[in-house]
Amino acid sequence: MEFQFNTDSSVMGTENVAERIEAQLRKRLGRFEERLTRLEVHVTDSNARKGGDDDKSCRIEARPRGGDPVVVTAQAGDVDLAARQAGEKMVSLLESHFGKADRHHR
């Protein structure tokens, strides 16, 4: 599974942030790895340097093999929490997505 990390100019897009989020999402979504071709993660900060609650956003797009992309978004006060919450949403979405596909193939 390919992993792509994108950030806007107001979020620290350092390797450390990207590595942390990638490791977190690979661990959380690892059981779906054979069924996905790519994960794209987009992290943004809507208030930039002004600060504020829940101003960090994480959007995850997963691309199932042979299927249409699925997307989730979460907002939080920091990028790690936003990524964690988006990861939880993606697990739930993929469980539902693949569960339905598995039921149709039986």
Q: Average pLDDT, stretch 63-80?
A: 94
Alpha-carbon span 76 to 103, nearest angstrom: 35
Quick check: 103 pLDDT over 60?
no
Q: Give the pLDDT band of residue 31 (cuts 50, 70, 90).
A: very high
Alpha-carbon span 47 to 30, nearest angstrom: 32
Residue-level pLDDT at 105:
53
* Average pLDDT for the chain: 87
pTM for the whole structure? 0.86
58 contacts 42 by C-beta, under 8 angstroms: yes
State how beta strands 70-76 and 2-7 pair. Answer: unpaired
Residue-level pLDDT at 18:
86
62: left (phi over 0), alpha (psi -120 to 50) or beta: beta
76-102 pLDDT tens trace: 988 899 999 999 999 999 999 998 655
Alpha-carbon span 45 to 12, nearest angstrom: 10
Residue-level pLDDT at 10:
66
37 contacts 1 by C-beta, under 8 angstroms: yes
Q: How many helices (H) and strands (E) does the chain have?
A: 2, 4
25 contacts 18 by C-beta, under 8 angstroms: no
